[in-house]
Chain A
Amino acid sequence: DSGVTQTPKHLITATGQRVTLRCSPRSGDLSVYWYQQSLDQGLQFLIQYYNGEERAKGNILERFSAQQFPDLHSELNLSSLELGDSALYFCASSVTGNPGELFFGEGSRLTVL
């Protein structure tokens, strides 16, 4: 158990819909990262938040947005969903300033029909 909690574990929805994925980082971790892993691609970095502020942006679509709340949990919002958005979405957290590890959650599997 990494200490990072993601909900929901599985989500099935239709094209054009909007969903929200939630992540609770490990206690004390200020940074939250979101990654997408689809079948034909590896782990793609989407976005990072540090203590409520956006810190780094990767290959995140304009239809996707994220935020980190004062209690440090984070949400990833996916809108106008397309079939190609079907993927595993992972959240990770880290102890900022520590050149060590990212702790990953177990992921949210999104299926768009």
Chain B
Amino acid sequence: DAKTTQPPSMDCAEGRAANLPCNHSTISGNEYVYWYRQIHSQGPQYIIHGLKNNETNEMASLIITEDRKSSTLILPHATLRDTAVYYCIVRETNFGNEKLTFGTGTRLTIIP
């Protein structure tokens, strides 16, 4: 699985859009980009994933650059409950082996 690089920490004002960057310059063509978050020692929570196209769900949007070497997770209207560690993970999808390798992530703090 390709390696990812994320800033260790970020702040965002409540109500504003939080934009979390991730660099994955060694990504290969069949690797997906996944985002998870972990709120204070709770189990990690899936947010979104994508391969090439931008994706949006009820939680967030994922913007992947055309060359796929980087991506941005966007939380459109951040709330205090979005304070968490956010993990960007790149992984192949192998049938029966969907393990994730977590890095150190970005600690996002939402400021009231």
Residues of B contacting A: mostly:
loop
A106 touches B43 (CB 8 A): yes
B105 touches A42 (CB 8 A): yes
Size band of the interface chain B makes with A = 20 to 34
B96 touches A55 (CB 8 A): yes
CB of B53 within 8 A of chain A?
no
> Are A55 and B100 CB-contacts (below 8 A) given A42-B105, A101-B46, A107-B42?
no
A99 touches B98 (CB 8 A): yes
**Which residues of chain A come closer than 8 Å to B102, judged between CB atoms?**
35, 42-43, 45
A96 touches B98 (CB 8 A): yes
A99 touches B46 (CB 8 A): no
A90 touches B43 (CB 8 A): yes
**Which residues of chain A come closer than 8 Å to B28, judged between CB atoms?**
none
**Which residues of chain B come closer than 8 Å to A100, judged between CB atoms?**
46, 49
B96 touches A45 (CB 8 A): no
CB of B45 within 8 A of chain A?
yes
A45 touches B101 (CB 8 A): yes
B46 touches A106 (CB 8 A): no
Give chain B interface residues in 32-57, CB to chain A under 8 Å: 32, 34, 38, 41-46, 49
CB of B81 within 8 A of chain A?
no
Considering the complex, give the chain B residue whose CB is closest to the CB of A6. B43
**Which residues of chain B come closer than 8 Å to A104, judged between CB atoms?**
43-45
Please pick, from B45, B96, B101, B103, the residue contacting A50 in the complex, using a CB distance under 8 A: B96
Shortest C-beta distance, B50 to chain A (Å), equals 10
A97 touches B43 (CB 8 A): no
Please pick, from B34, B41, B99, B104, the residue contacting A58 in the complex, using a CB distance under 8 A: B99
B44 touches A31 (CB 8 A): no
User: Which residues on B are within 8 Å of A, measured CB to CB?
Assistant: 32, 34, 38, 41-46, 49, 93, 95-105
